[in-house]
A and B are shown apart, each in its own frame.
Chain A
Amino acid sequence: MSDPSKPHNNKAWFLVLPVVASVAFTAIIPLVIVVNYSVQDIFGPGNRVFVGGEWFRNILNDSSIRDSFWRTIRFSLQVLAIQIPLGIAIGLAMPKRGWRASMALVLMALPLLIPFNVVGTIWQIFARADIGLGGYVVNDLLGITYNYSQNPRDAWFTVLLMDTWHWTPLVALLVYAGLRSIPDAYYRAATIDGARRLAIFRYIELPRLRGVLTIAVLLRFMDSFMIYTEPFVLTGGGPGNTTNFLSISLTKIAIGQFDLGRAAAYSLVYFFFIQLFCFIFYTAMKRQEV
């Protein structure tokens, strides 16, 4: 990207024009509409009042939204704390080549290609105490009372487990690909230098995985921060508000209550945080490249 030897040519804009046009249609226009909503109170078609920053004040002072925010942050951090190390451990264990590698690759990519609501359904079925294998084993064989639709702790745990099941393969595949791009000579040199397994990981593999791990952290943080469908199907945000993440609560206000102005202001605040995180990550990445 930032190769300074590239020729400067503003005609290149013609080549990016289709992208700009398509993203304008899918992102800018909707965003303008959101901004427009966010400063009005909308009661129905043709019946709206300009309220200025009222909705924003309302959102920022809403304790349940604030709870959702911290809940989502907590979820995202837990996701990172579990999935990144786990993904590294799996990536390291994957065979480098041969049919086993292909097999592992295909099986591990499978959860990534399941529609989000089906992921929810799979876990709903799997974790239910009456018909689910997981729920049955925990309740009846291990004798631990477990019910994700009633017990808040169980619900949180199940959503976290589901997300780990769903997305750790992504981290593992990134790590695997990163490992594959390390030339053999590095391992040989380390052997010759008398490095033990842990030192090889620490001084050869980890530094060379930095790029893919940054991406993994970025993607996992952002996507878990926006999580909607899987917990919606599994718990619907409950029990109580236990798994009421930002996207779920936003959708409830927007579609459930059809509170357009408030939902729009909510969207913008939400979007602002996403942009902020993105910017922090992007800056950190750029600094790393130098």
Chain B
Amino acid sequence: MRPSHVNAMRRTWLLVYVVALMLPIAWMALMSLRPNQDILGSFTWWPENFSLDNYRTIFTDASWYTGYLNSIQYTLLNMVLSLAVALPAAYAFSRYRFLGDNHLFFWLLTNRMAPAAVFLLPVFQLYQNVGLFDTPLAVALAHMLFNVPLAVWILEGFMSSVPRSIDETALIDGYRFPRFFLRVFLPLIRSGVGVAAFFCFMFSWVELLLARTLTSVNAKPIAVTMTRTVSASGLDWGLLTAAGTLTLIPGALVIWFVRKHIAKGFALGRV
């Protein structure tokens, strides 16, 4: 039973914050609807002549839209690979004690914190030597550096909240382990899997440094397409902002789908 004016103040403060948060994004989106000359012409609060030309260029020019396809491709690939290796490991950490478990867990976590810049040089050489350079798989693998530890961490939290007696009961009931894991255990932690997948998606989607280093032509992500176009054609703001605006859409869609689970994932304090 809080006084209503306190509630009103809270709401106003939140509203102001959210508006401030959206302002730069909205500005970019507005700008993407204007031709480049118009942008450079003079400052206007609201675009005078709207046009979808920038978007038309992106959707028809293969050098643009393949960037999106590449990004989505390695992001999804990374998500699947990260979860595939993280699930059994998280299970091991949540259910058993074994030689060096704590050290291993800590070491994994430090990799989440490893600066990508440190790995630039060797990663470049390594992937070139094994013939993966400039493929989506290369970026997906490189992003496992920080996504696998993260996924293990999140999944371990969710798994530990499932009582161990469930495993024992299922195994006594005659379930083989793989069947138990897929049919019984996985459905129990599906929101955990959702949250882990979300964060894998997020961190892979936003990363640029490794993605840029590991690609040149064939697997070039959209973010890199943007930076290169900027330097080549002398700042086409209209095109740049349109491309930027489009990079928001996959993220926005993903958040919308997992919004119910996100709070829970965060609540575990494991991001």
Q: Interface of A with B (CB < 8 Å)? A: 1-4, 6-13, 15-16, 18-23, 25-27, 29-34, 37, 89-90, 92-95, 102, 104-118, 121-123, 125-126, 130-134, 136, 140, 165, 169-170, 173-174, 176-178, 180-181, 191, 197, 211-212, 214-215, 219, 222, 225-226, 228-229, 233, 246-247, 250-251, 254-255, 260, 263-264, 267-268, 270-271, 274-275, 277-279, 282
Tell whether, in the assembled complex, residue B115 and residue A233 are in contact, meaning their CB atoms are under 8 Å apart.
no
Tell whether, in the assembled complex, residue B18 and residue A104 are in contact, meaning their CB atoms are under 8 Å apart.
yes
User: In the complex, which of the residues A121, A134, A250 has the most CB atoms of chain B within 10 Å of its own CB atom?
Assistant: A121
Tell whether, in the assembled complex, residue A131 and residue B208 are in contact, meaning their CB atoms are under 8 Å apart.
no
Known: A165-B24, A178-B266. 9 other contacts (CB 8 A): A19-B85, A104-B18, A109-B259, A113-B252, A115-B207, A115-B208, A126-B28, A251-B117, A271-B118
Minimum Cβ distance to chain A for residue B112 (Å): 8
Tell whether, in the assembled complex, residue B117 and residue A250 are in contact, meaning their CB atoms are under 8 Å apart.
yes
Tell whether, in the assembled complex, residue A131 and residue B237 are in contact, meaning their CB atoms are under 8 Å apart.
yes
Which residue of A107, A117, A263 is within 8 Å of B223 (Cβ)? Answer: A117
Which residue of B111, B164, B248 is within 8 Å of A23 (Cβ)? Answer: B111
Bound-complex Cα distance A20 to B92 (A)? 13
Tell whether, in the assembled complex, residue A255 and residue B120 are in contact, meaning their CB atoms are under 8 Å apart.
yes
Tell whether, in the assembled complex, residue A267 and residue B145 are in contact, meaning their CB atoms are under 8 Å apart.
no
* 10 A/B residue pairs, CB under 8 Å, sorted by A: A19-B88, A23-B111, A90-B17, A113-B250, A122-B244, A130-B43, A133-B27, A173-B263, A180-B263, A250-B118
Bound-complex Cα distance A274 to B143 (A)? 18
**With A113-B252, A125-B237, A270-B115 given, is the CB distance from A29 to B96 under 8 Å?**
no
Bound-complex Cα distance A26 to B82 (A)? 12
Tell whether, in the assembled complex, residue A23 and residue B145 are in contact, meaning their CB atoms are under 8 Å apart.
yes
**With A115-B247, A122-B244, A267-B117 given, is the CB distance from A1 to B156 under 8 Å?**
yes
Specify which chain B residues have a CB less than 8 angstroms from the CB of A264 in the assembled complex.
121
Q: Answer whether residue B193 sits at the interface, using C-beta atoms and an 8 A cutoff.
A: no
Bound-complex Cα distance A31 to B95 (A)? 31
Bound-complex Cα distance A56 to B259 (A)? 47
Bound-complex Cα distance A180 to B106 (A)? 28
**With A131-B237, A177-B266 given, is the CB distance from A106 to B255 under 8 Å?**
yes
User: In the complex, which of the residues B109, B114, B145 has the most CB atoms of chain A within 10 Å of its own CB atom?
Assistant: B114
Specify which chain A residues have a CB less than 8 angstroms from the CB of B156 in the assembled complex.
1
Bound-complex Cα distance A118 to B225 (A)? 11
Bound-complex Cα distance A7 to B88 (A)? 16
Tell whether, in the assembled complex, residue A136 and residue B43 are in contact, meaning their CB atoms are under 8 Å apart.
yes
Minimum Cβ distance to chain B for residue A191 (Å): 8
Which residue of B96, B240, B267 is within 8 Å of A9 (Cβ)? Answer: B96
Specify which chain B residues have a CB less than 8 angstroms from the CB of A173 in the assembled complex.
262-263, 266
Q: Answer whether residue B21 sits at the interface, using C-beta atoms and an 8 A cutoff.
A: yes
Residues 78-102 of B at the A interface (beta carbon under 8 Å)? 81, 84-86, 88-89, 91-99, 101-102
Residue of A nearest to B82 (CB): A22
Q: Answer whether residue B170 sits at the interface, using C-beta atoms and an 8 A cutoff.
A: no
Tell whether, in the assembled complex, residue B122 and residue A29 are in contact, meaning their CB atoms are under 8 Å apart.
yes
